[in-house]
Each structure stands twice: as structure tokens, then as C-alpha cells.
Amino acid sequence: MPVPAEGSTSGSSSDTPRRRGLTVPVLVTGASGYIASWICLYLLEQGYAIRGTTRNEKKGEWMKQMYKDRGYDKFDYTVVTDLENDDAFGEAVIGVDAIVHTASPFHWNVEKPDDFIKPAVAGTVSVLKAASKEPRVQRIVITSSYASILENREPGSTTFTEADWNQQSIDEVNEKGVDAWRMHWYRASKTLAERAAWDYMEKNKPTFDLVTICPPYVLGPIIHEAASPGSLNTSIANWYSFLTGQKTEEDATAPAGILCDVRDVARCHTKALLLPEAAGQRFGIATRTFTLQVLLDHVHDPSNAHLLSVFPKTVRGVPGKEVPPQNWFDCSRSLKTLGITPTHESRTA
């Protein structure tokens, strides 16, 4: 499998979005999602027009009004309901200069590994195929995940980088099927989808170039529609379960992985879309290893009494307990290339 090398390029690097200027809409798939909504906002703030894909008109209209209320009228949308349709994005890509592909399932309303894997892989390949038919497209940025990199190792024993790939989850799913740990289902889907993207670039040599972003656990404020707790995205829903007393002290102090803020993740996407030197690279972003106890300590701080008035059942856990040893994701090269210093700690959502 081809792996993007540090500093490598793919497709055309002489005619980048930064050099041409994005004079027509940037396509953002899954625009009503947690990360994508922030990506759209940051691009709108820079004056770019956005064409988002949403699963239905209601979501599209909600997003359109939300951005309009913030003073931005260059957001429009098109409905894409089936990521597994080979021509799912055929109309959406017409006339766009660049694409940010974020649409991929991450929820637990699944019955088998393919409920994750098929739409993740098919949606990614569908975007690339559609882009290959639109000569204007110069760059595609795909939201992958730290899930495509990490493997279960002895805590504190490993420092992962963007050069690593998660073969473990794929092997587990292939061997055990529905009996594999469900998180392996998701991790395999992200790994296989990203691999499919790089394989497509290698085999087809399209005129556009590709960038992938691999964030770990993402927290931070939401701006997308979330009318009820049941509509929260997975990471925020987990945090909400601590705020509403559905978790235990043991849950609070358990290793939770590596944290990054949704706003920093969105900034990485926008930089990766616009910087010529980002072509053909795989980027990560990480702030710190953490437990949910770290965030709960902030909520229970006396200066944040207003938070407890809203969420009086918030789990307390074991205040001040140190974060246990965990494996690290070294993204220093990525952040240097993109010129980004994480500015948010995601202490609360």
C-alpha cells in the first residue's frame, strides 16, 4: 500500500487553491457534522463560498440559517443521502475548486463491521471518482482519524506518528467478524477508507492532490444542530453522559486517549486545504493525553459554579487524580508544516 512520505506530493502541486484562489464554492461533505460545521465557519470567515452536503433539507436549511445569523451568506447545500452510491457526489462536485470530505459514520447504531466499513470506504472512493471528472478540482482534504494509526499497545510504551498504520483492527475484524471488539469495527473503517484514498491516488494519478487529517478524541463547543441529547455526536455524547451522572468514578479516571479541540482540528483542515506544501501529506493534531477526570475537575472548580447549576448531577470522580501513562501521538511535524499551535484545551464542551 502506498504511504504518503514526508514532504511528498501527489497530483498537481503547481496549481494549488492558494495560488489560484478559490473563486467558486469549496465542497464540504457532511457539512452539518461536528467538525465540518467549524470547517465551514472558518472558510466562510475567510471569504470563501461553501457548498455543503447534508443528509436532508432540514439539516441544510438549519445550517444555512445558522451561518446567516452569524453574518455569512455564502453557504449553500445539496442533499446526499447514500454514501454507498457510486455516484453519490457526482452533482455536488460540479464547478468546485476544492473538497473537504468529512462524511463518514461514527455512531453505535450498527449491527456488524460493514455498517461502518462499507459507507466509509465507498463514500471516500465516490468523492475521489467524482472529483476526477471535474477538472477544476485542485485539492481534496479527507478527515481520517487517529483510529487509522494507533494499535493497542502497553500503555506508555509507544509514540505513534503519521507514518504508522493500524493493521491490528483490520486483522481483528477479518478474524472475528461481529465478535471483534466494536471499537475495532470503527477503527478498521477509518483505516480502510484512508488506505483506499491513497491507493486511488497511486493507481489513477488524478490532476488534484490529496491531504488527510488524523485527529484523536475531539471535544469542544458545538455549533451544528443538536436538538436533543440523542442527536449529539459520539464524543460529545460521551461527555454529556458524565455531565448528567450516567458514568462512574472509575469511568472518570480511566485512560481516555489523546485530546484535541474541534476548533484546532478545523483550523488544520483549512490550512491543509490552502497551503501548497500540504500536498500529498498526512497530518495529525494532539494536545495532551487525558482522562475525563481532567475535564470534570474544571467543571467542579468553584469559579464554574454556573456549570454545576446547569448540570447538578455531574460526576465528581476522584478530583486531582493524575492522568495514567498512555501512548502518545507525536504530531510535531504536522503542526510545524501547517503553522499551527493548539490554542484550545477542550476543557469543557
Contact between 34 and 215 (Cβ < 8 Å): no
What proportions of the chain, in percent to the nearest 5, are helix, strand and coil?
40, 15, 45
Residue 139 has pLDDT above 60, yes or no: yes
Domain count, the chain: 1
Residue 346 has pLDDT above 70, yes or no: no
The verdict on residue 302 lying in a domain is no
Q: Which residue has the higher pLDDT, 110 or 277?
A: 277
280: left (phi over 0), alpha (psi -120 to 50) or beta: left
Per residue in 175-202, pLDDT tens?
Answer: 999 999 999 999 999 999 999 999 999 9
The verdict on residue 196 lying in a domain is yes
Distances (CA, A) of 217 to 32, 88, 146, 254: 19, 28, 8, 14
Give the three-state DSSP class for 333. helix
Contact between 293 and 252 (Cβ < 8 Å): yes
Please report the pLDDT score of residue 86 as a whole number. Answer: 78
Per residue in 276-311, pLDDT tens?
Answer: 999 999 999 999 999 999 999 999 999 999 999 999
Range of the domain at 110: 17-220+261-286+323-338
pLDDT category of residue 223 using cuts at 50, 70 and 90: very high
State the average pLDDT for the chain.
89
CA–CA gap between residue 243 and residue 227 (Å, rounded): 17
Per residue in 76-85, pLDDT tens?
Answer: 999 998 877 8
Please report the pLDDT score of residue 38 as a whole number. Answer: 97
Please report the pLDDT score of residue 246 as a whole number. Answer: 96
The verdict on residue 242 lying in a domain is no
Residue 8 has pLDDT above 60, yes or no: no
CATH code for the domain in which residue 123 is found: 3.40.50.720
Closest CA relative to residue 38, chosen from 234, 219, 222, 233: 222
The verdict on residue 61 lying in a domain is yes
The verdict on residue 90 lying in a domain is yes
Closest CA relative to residue 150, chosen from 139, 142, 159, 141: 159
Please report the pLDDT score of residue 21 as a whole number. Answer: 53
Closest CA relative to residue 338, chosen from 273, 263, 260, 288: 273
Residue 3 has pLDDT above 60, yes or no: no
pLDDT category of residue 347 using cuts at 50, 70 and 90: very low
Per residue in 232-260, pLDDT tens?
Answer: 888 999 999 999 999 999 999 999 999 99
The verdict on residue 253 lying in a domain is no
The verdict on residue 309 lying in a domain is no
The verdict on residue 49 lying in a domain is yes
